[in-house]
A and B are shown apart, each in its own frame.
Chain A
Amino acid sequence: MRIVVLMKPVPDTTGQERLLPDGRVDRAASAAVVNANDEYAIEAALKLTEAAGGEVTLLAMAPANAPETMRKALAMGATRGVLVTDPALEGSCTLSTTRVLAAALRGLEYDLILAGADTSDGGGGIVAAGIATLLGLPYLSYAAKVEPADGRVRVHRISPTGYDILDAPLPALVVATQALGEPRYPSLKGIMAARSREIATRSLSDLGLDGSQVGGAVATTRLTGSRAPAAREATVVVREAPAEAARWVVDFLAARRII
């Protein structure tokens, strides 16, 4: 089974990202980590290939410093990485990301593509659906379970009332969730092995694209401003005995017209 996992290097949530004068995040200056939701996709891909044989390719569209972050994911056990990077992609919108990743996937061999549920740097969980659409692949989202067998894939898709059992032929694109299982920590052996694994880079022209079709110059959306949210009011701390504390809480909720 050949699996491609879409993984995005994102600014570390626990850090403080730096902003450029135009309000965009300075990705070159912010420490990047593997998008947490993509780690579940990587873990699921590793489990599937460990059980049935095969290989896992990581695909990212990111700035040129991304291999550093991709090594962390390779250290979990992935076979290789492919990085699409090009100065023209700076300031891309999600539609560009979708088109670029779809073009890169056309040049890869796979039975299954796995993506994360969304990205922690402001993504809205829409890129994967767009990629499946452009590639004409069955799209199975919000998976709590992924079972490929006999050229088909079965997925438990989380629903508001439980889950739906979905079924489609391979190749297909599946969106992973945390319910698939905790990602592993890279072993020392894995970290060593990752050093020698290949991370191939592709420019836009390698994909048969140019800056008039995708990238910052043709972005469909524009950031017009950013600001810090209004500070919350000071915390009211209550240390009374339970019954008195409960009266505080209920008074507070009533004063704010919540009840």
Chain B
Amino acid sequence: MAGELLVIGEIQSGGGLARVSAEVATIARRIGERAGRPVEGIVIGADPGRAASELVGYLPFSHAVSEPEAADHAAAAAVAPGLAALIAQRGLSHVLVGASPDGRDLAGMLSALLGWGVLVNAIDVGWEGGGPTVEMSVFGGRLLTSSTFAGEHGIVTVRPNAVVAEPLAEAGRVVETVLPAAAALPAVNVVQRVAEAGAAAPIEEARIIVAGGRGVAGPVGFGIVQELADELKGAVGATRAAVDAGWIPYAHQIGQTGKIVKPALYLALGISGAIQHKVGMQTAETIVAVNRDADAPIGEYADLFVVGDLFAVAPAIVAELRARRG
């Protein structure tokens, strides 16, 4: 039995498509070609139109499902039952979704509702012997594993930056769909959405991250981190030491109990590179570190290690970038 593959598109705050969803769509298209299976997308939300039209930049077809409940309720529970019913009704075989907070919540719920297995945090997905093969980086990057589903079905959560999104030459089409009726899960009300100063795009999705640690020495130092991040069009990350000190919100923390990131560039300023931090960033394609201690552990796994004072080197990098830009 060969079913279609489904990509769940996630709506960003602001209404557009989350970057990770374009990457997931790119992966799904590739394995769909290999498997000879069609791929479709779905975007569900109070206002799915814009994200769905962006998703068909990467897929030939996407559903847009208007779900008013998602506006003032926790999204995963509001959409999971109807989505599970649609998946069953259409006889779809596999679901791919970004390993974002909402994507994980939804994957867990769909797994329970459909009785399907889940392979998590994929860094690459192939297709072999009638099903997806999923590559994962586990134990803080010390091991790469390959896994498959035992049966015909499965759900895959995909890490941001697993691939570079490739748009289609010609955009696909969006169809407005209504989810089949299904027994609801308990509703969770959103009483208020609070915006905090300093919050930015999710760091998991950033292609370039400039991160600061204890060596940055305070909020003023994070100004320097931010300036370099802005110059590189990147996001700001941090170690737990910097978060615990209250210099930057927890949402920016990278590591074992923070976010796991896989950017093209990770530029670490005043970070020692402790194992609990390393597990969150060591799959970055390129690691550059600035540290005044030549023996800091990050020097053992950085690609480029500048031994020096970040308060002198970071502004010099900003100046050099500006000079070359002319």
Interface residues of A (CB under 8 A from B): 11, 13-14, 16-17, 19, 23, 25, 36-37, 40, 93-95, 98, 117-118, 120-134, 136-142, 144, 154, 156-169, 172, 177-179, 182, 219-229, 232-233, 235-240, 242-243, 245-250, 252-253, 256, 258-259
B121, B275, B294, B307: which contacts A13 (Cβ < 8 A)? B275
Q: Do A238 and B13 touch (CB < 8 A)?
A: no
Whole-angstrom distance between the alpha carbons of A126 and B186 in the complex?
A: 18
Whole-angstrom distance between the alpha carbons of A2 and B106 in the complex?
A: 27
Q: How far is the CB of B113 from chain A (nearest CB, A)?
A: 6
A16, A165, A182, A221: which contacts B194 (Cβ < 8 A)? A165
Say yes or no: A139-B188 contact (C-beta < 8 A), given A228-B143, A235-B301: yes
Q: When each residue 295-314 of chain B gets 1 if its CB lies under 8 Å from chain A and 0 otherwise, what string results?
A: 00001111111111100110
Q: Do B154 and A220 touch (CB < 8 A)?
A: yes
Say yes or no: A238-B148 contact (C-beta < 8 A), given A130-B108, A162-B194: no
Q: Do A235 and B305 touch (CB < 8 A)?
A: yes
B108, B294, B317: which contacts A98 (Cβ < 8 A)? B108
Q: Do B108 and A245 touch (CB < 8 A)?
A: no
Q: Do B13 and A160 touch (CB < 8 A)?
A: yes
Whole-angstrom distance between the alpha carbons of A130 and B149 in the complex?
A: 18
Q: Do A13 and B140 touch (CB < 8 A)?
A: yes
Q: Do A243 and B187 touch (CB < 8 A)?
A: no
Q: How far is the CB of A197 from chain B (nearest CB, A)?
A: 26
Whole-angstrom distance between the alpha carbons of A198 and B193 in the complex?
A: 42
Whole-angstrom distance between the alpha carbons of A237 and B300 in the complex?
A: 10
Residue of B nearest to A17 (CB): B139
Residue of B nearest to A169 (CB): B186
Q: Do B149 and A221 touch (CB < 8 A)?
A: yes
Q: Is the contact region of chain A dominated by helix, strand, or loop, or is it mixed?
A: mixed
Whole-angstrom distance between the alpha carbons of A178 and B105 in the complex?
A: 18
Q: Do A221 and B150 touch (CB < 8 A)?
A: yes
Q: How far is the CB of B285 from chain A (nearest CB, A)?
A: 8
Number of residue pairs across A and B with beta carbons under 8 Å?
A: 293
B185 within 8 A of A: yes
Say yes or no: A226-B144 contact (C-beta < 8 A), given A133-B185, A250-B320, A258-B264: yes
Which residues of chain A are within 8 angstroms of B324 by Cβ–Cβ distance?
250
Which residues of chain B are within 8 angstroms of A120 by Cβ–Cβ distance?
139-140, 256, 279
Interface size class of B (residues with CB under 8 A): 35 or more
Say yes or no: A130-B307 contact (C-beta < 8 A), given A36-B257, A227-B143, A242-B316: no
Say yes or no: A178-B146 contact (C-beta < 8 A), given A122-B139, A138-B186, A160-B199: no
Say yes or no: A94-B120 contact (C-beta < 8 A), given A162-B195, A164-B190: yes
Q: Do B257 and A249 touch (CB < 8 A)?
A: no
- 26 inter-chain pairs at a CB distance below 8 angstroms, sorted by A residue, are A93-B117, A98-B111, A120-B140, A122-B139, A126-B120, A138-B77, A139-B105, A139-B109, A157-B74, A162-B196, A164-B74, A165-B194, A167-B189, A177-B257, A182-B244, A225-B146, A237-B307, A239-B306, A242-B313, A246-B320, A247-B320, A249-B313, A249-B320, A250-B321, A258-B264, A258-B265
Say yes or no: A245-B105 contact (C-beta < 8 A), given A98-B112, A164-B194: no
Q: Do A221 and B275 touch (CB < 8 A)?
A: no
Q: When each residue 120-147 of chain B gets 1 if its CB lies under 8 Å from chain A and 0 otherwise, what string results?
A: 1100000000000100111111111111
Q: Do B147 and A161 touch (CB < 8 A)?
A: no
Say yes or no: A126-B305 contact (C-beta < 8 A), given A161-B195, A178-B257, A222-B148: no
Say yes or no: A165-B188 contact (C-beta < 8 A), given A40-B257, A250-B317: no
Whole-angstrom distance between the alpha carbons of A156 and B192 in the complex?
A: 10
Q: Do B109 and A133 touch (CB < 8 A)?
A: yes
Which residues of chain B are within 8 angstroms of A137 by Cβ–Cβ distance?
186
Q: Do A245 and B313 touch (CB < 8 A)?
A: yes
B251 within 8 A of A: yes
Whole-angstrom distance between the alpha carbons of A178 and B257 in the complex?
A: 7
Residue of A nearest to B198 (CB): A162
Whole-angstrom distance between the alpha carbons of A127 and B149 in the complex?
A: 17
Whole-angstrom distance between the alpha carbons of A89 and B99 in the complex?
A: 26
Say yes or no: A162-B193 contact (C-beta < 8 A), given A17-B139, A235-B303, A259-B321: yes
Whole-angstrom distance between the alpha carbons of A134 and B77 in the complex?
A: 12
Whole-angstrom distance between the alpha carbons of A192 and B118 in the complex?
A: 40
Whole-angstrom distance between the alpha carbons of A209 and B85 in the complex?
A: 26
